[in-house]
């Protein structure tokens, strides 16, 4: 099949919706006809793994088939274990989604070096923005990139040197407010300035909705509306957010046609 596309979700801060976004992206890509494998590097919390296990349990309980991804959790916490897990999952996968721990972690750094698409989810606040760039307290202008931006810059440089392949770094604005505000505009302006300086793309992610927290126990996503029972306009709006997010990732297949989520 050739080399799969590595879609890596990484952020050293917790609470950014990283694992939820990773699961939704994996299932959405599987729903588009891609063969998707998912690797969870956080062998303690196992959030992505638990989500996908819940999904399999729901399919058994309802005796139905839903789009799914093969998945594994990295129990052998070593670079050799990471390489072995990737080799096992690569056999029948177009895309490998890797969810890294929400902390500085040597295996997360190793996974970042494999990224074709690197996604850094962040909440829409200056607290989360500080991970990749510092701003002036009065005018909110960017003063300098932060340590994480430097880490990604060095990783991208090393990957280009080692493989000749580039990395598409995507910063995902999760929990965007649905009303305009000074904070929203200020964070957006700072991100745009950082994007030009550091070299990433900014796309909207998943909004702040109770829906996402309610989906976890059943392992469902917003593409599974028939299984959700009563749905309202908020579900439809959230599903459109998901579609736009996946389209924004711009992941292409062997035929270079962008995956479309039905």
Digit-coded pLDDT (tens) for 149-167: 999 999 999 988 888 888 9
Number of domains in the chain: 1
Q: Note the pLDDT of residue 259.
A: 37
pLDDT above 60 for 254: no
- Give the confidence band of 178 by pLDDT, cuts at 50, 70, 90: low
Beta strands in 11-77 (DSSP E): 36-40, 70-73
SS3 52: helix
> 26 or 232: which carries more pLDDT confidence?
26
What does the alpha-carbon distance between residue 127 and residue 122 come to, in Å, rounded to a whole number? 9
In a domain? residue 260: no
37 strand-pairing partners = 70, 96
For residue 135, the domain's CATH number is 3.40.50.300
Contacts (Cβ under 8 Å, ≥6 apart) of 149: 132, 133, 194, 198
The pLDDT of 115-142, averaged and rounded, is 89
pLDDT above 80 for 121: yes
In a domain? residue 255: no
Residues across the chain = 262
In a domain? residue 156: yes
The pLDDT of 169-185, averaged and rounded, is 76
Digit-coded pLDDT (tens) for 7-63: 999 998 878 889 999 999 999 999 999 999 999 999 889 999 999 999 999 999 999
In a domain? residue 259: no
Digit-coded pLDDT (tens) for 58-79: 999 999 999 999 999 998 899 9
Label residue 221 exposed, middle or buried (CB < 10 Å: 0-12, 13-18, 19+). Answer: buried
What does the alpha-carbon distance between residue 260 and residue 262 come to, in Å, rounded to a whole number? 6
In a domain? residue 118: yes
- Give the confidence band of 261 by pLDDT, cuts at 50, 70, 90: very low
Question: Domain of 19?
Answer: 5-249
The pLDDT of 99-125, averaged and rounded, is 91
Are the C-beta atoms of residues 240 and 18 closer than 8 Å to each other?
Answer: no
């Amino acid at each position: 099949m050739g080399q799969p596309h590595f879609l890596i979700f990484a952020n050293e801060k917790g609470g950014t919706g990283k694992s939820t976004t990773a699961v939704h992206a994996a299932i959405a890509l599987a729903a588009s006809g891609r063969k998707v494998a998912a690797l969870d590097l956080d062998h303690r919390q196992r959030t992505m793994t638990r989500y996908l296990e819940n999904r399999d349990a729901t399919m058994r309980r309802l005796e139905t088939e839903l789009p799914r991804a093969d998945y594994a959790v990295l129990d052998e916490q070593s670079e050799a274990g990471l390489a072995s897990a990737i080799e096992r999952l690569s056999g029948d996968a177009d895309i490998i989604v890797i969810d890294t721990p929400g902390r500085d972690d040597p295996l997360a750094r190793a996974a970042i070096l494999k990224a074709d698409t690197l996604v850094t989810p962040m909440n829409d606040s200056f607290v989360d923005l500080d991970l990749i760039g510092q701003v002036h307290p009065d005018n909110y202008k960017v003063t300098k990139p932060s340590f994480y931006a430097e880490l990604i810059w060095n990783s991208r440089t090393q990957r280009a040197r080692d493989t000749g392949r580039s990395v598409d770094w995507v910063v995902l604005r999760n929990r965007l407010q649905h009303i305009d505000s000074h904070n929203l505009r200020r964070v957006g302006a700072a991100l745009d300035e950082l994007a030009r300086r550091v070299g990433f793309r900014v796309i909207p992610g998943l909004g702040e909705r109770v829906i996402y927290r309610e989906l976890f126990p059943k392992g469902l996503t917003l593409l599974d509306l028939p299984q959700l029972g009563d749905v309202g306009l908020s579900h439809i709006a959230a599903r459109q957010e998901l579609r736009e997010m996946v389209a924004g990732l711009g992941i292409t297949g062997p035929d270079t046609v962008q995956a479309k989520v039905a």
